[in-house]
A and B are shown apart, each in its own frame.
Chain A
Amino acid sequence: KAGVTQTPRYLIKTRGQQVTLSCSPISGHRSVSWYQQTPGQGLQFLFEYFSETQRNKGNFPGRFSGRQFSNSRSEMNVSTLELGDSALYLCASSSPRQGIHEQYFGPGTRLTVT
């Protein structure tokens, strides 16, 4: 069974640009969550999607948005990039089945804003 995949793995953008990151969950998983990891702030929850609906959102500005498609693939978008958006963006998927607790993480997308 294929794991969570994220594309691209590395990205360099300029301040003010926008970026779209993609996440493909494990087959059969309908929940996708996004996290931002920085040395200063650690791992912070961005948002969670389930069946194409956002059902939880972290404390991030509106420049951060996301969506989920009918095949459970998810994208997150960051508009008007700032230097502080440089981070490792991790996507995780999980199954809503009883007894399945853990989230499975992808390898992440490392975004550098210059």
Chain B
Amino acid sequence: AQKITQTQPGMFVQEKEAVTLDCTYDTSDPSYGLFWYKQPSSGEMIFLIYQGSYDQQNATEGRYSLNFQKARKSANLVISASQLGDSAMYFCAMRDDPQHDKVIFGPGTSLSVIP
């Protein structure tokens, strides 16, 4: 069965420092996609970055990069130069059927950026 694990319930990072949020996943499907979403206190889910299982390079989007280690089934999010506005819940998610939009979410990591 598909499963997403995020082992860090809460994280603190100093402003302007980099932080890594961990995510491991489990699927038996060779074709899948991995996502990271940010959810501020307002509640809206904001898409950050996507990594396909067949992508050869790690995905990057501005200050966000995804450290994809397929053999370890790991998809960690790296946020560089943290900003106060990065304080939010971060969810790792997976879709293992590219034809459908059923996405499984991890439990989330609460990130707090300290000035």
Please list the residues of chain A having a beta carbon within 8 angstroms of any beta carbon in chain B. Answer: 31, 33, 35, 42-45, 48, 50, 55-56, 58, 88, 90, 92, 94, 101-108, 110
Q: Mark B36-51, 1 if CB is under 8 A from A, else 0.
A: 0100001111110010
Q: Which residues of B contact A90 (CB under 8 A)?
A: 45
Q: How many A-B residue pairs have CB under 8 A?
A: 54
Known A92-B101, A103-B101; judge A42-B47 contact (CB<8 A).
Answer: no
Which of B70-78, B80-88, B104-112 lies at the binding interface? B104-112
Instruction: Point out the residue from A33, A43, A56 that lies within 8 Å of B91, measured CB to CB.
Output: A43
Tell me whether A105 and B107 are in contact (CB under 8 A). no
Q: Which residues of B contact A33 (CB under 8 A)?
A: 101-103
Tell me whether A110 and B43 are in contact (CB under 8 A). yes
